[in-house]
Chains A and B, each alone.
Chain A
Amino acid sequence: MAIKHVMVAVGAFSNSLVPAKYAIALSKQLQARLTAVHVINEKVLHDLLKSRVFVEIEARQYQRDLEEQAGLFMERMQKLAQEKRVALETVIIRGEISVEVVKKAQELQADILVMGELKEVFSTRDFFYDEGERLFRRNCCPVLVVKNPVQVETLFNEV
């Protein structure tokens, strides 16, 4: 079965450039459709409101900041994709990261999900609370975990 649609899950910060660049290079080589998905983590904001660490106005401000950062990251990724002449579709959604990415991968019939390196697991608690772990385990299509930023940079420069 050919890989026709690559989906990459990205955060909003520089460490997400590694899976982003890998996904662009992979799509270029496979001539596959590429979609980048970012999820604004609303669950954490809801939890902080519930525990009264946040007040409403503050949670709304954080949501705006997170949306702005996500938009800026997607613009940056779009430029990288254009540089390699790869068409990139970007999706920003709200909700629980692992739930929304899995839903989107099914909805868009992605053939492979690319994601950043999983964090070192220190405890069983991490298995339950780390969104990367959850996404890795919950996703239905094959998952490719990108490691070694130096190698990724070389690959990206070569394609």
Chain B
Amino acid sequence: MISRILRAGILPDDSMSDTDAQALFKRRRNMVVILLAILLVIVAGAITTPSFLTVENLLIVIRAASITGILALGMSYITISGNLFALSGEELAILSACIFAFLMRAEYGLFTSLVATLLFAAACGAIQGGIISYGADPIITTLAFGGLFRGIASLVTNNKNILLGTTAAEWLGTARPLGIPTQSWAFIFLTAFAWFVLQKTRFGRQLLLTGANREAARATGLRVGQASLVALILFAVCCGLAGIFAAAQFGLAVANLFTGLNIDVVAAVLVGGISLRGGQGSPIQAALGAIFIALLQNFMLLHSFTTGERMLVVGCLVALATLGFHMLQRRRA
């Protein structure tokens, strides 16, 4: 009985009656869609702008994708655990950047500042996750915490720039080991790590089951709230990392570091095709979604789209992706 429920949680429930090949195709289809979308933007960019497919531009895209991607990886855990989205990522990243800069400026040293900032972010995630794990609405709760974090960030910075005042962290933000920015290394490693944890560890399988069927998970004796709690903590640590990278890259922290990041991250997860019902999907889809969004933003910038036009495009994309995947799922159900 338990093994059947567990299997049902890991495989999409509607695939159980299909042959393995069909099931595999269905599970991979969303991945294929997003890969095709990425290819489409690259081809369109290469044809229309000579400056698109250059090493310099692609490195810019990769770095932009990395910050969005690191958050999207964390967000994918929240979505897969059945909690839709968190809308406090941007604000927590800003707050983390401010705290990191504050600690660096106070000469606590790189290591201490790094650890303290990440611990702080994890604590912020734990508070949100704790509330959500008792059944509070994830989107509204994180919306509230977003307001709180933004307020605290302004309080810490007194609404001015905080300079790091030291070059100790510069390597973290601007170095390019083997020609690839540090942010992107972190993105690559975290993608592999997130995939491994979700697919190969007991916690990952519990997360999938909880997301797929909360009642079944509860019936098998899993602590359902724990999955939400851990997902929120991991997301918060990702936000902390993004904040640290940005503060290190620019040598300062300021309250508008990540304008529009929340939306890009949500867009990445949605465009990656991770099911909003929870229990399905992979962090790799979120990572690909982030790359797609970064490519698209870069493409639009090179074609001198205005801010408004870019927002309109991304917004329509999010709404249409939500609708599209929703209709696909409903037809299958």
Q: Do A and B bind each other?
A: no
A contact residues vs B (CB 8 Å cutoff): none
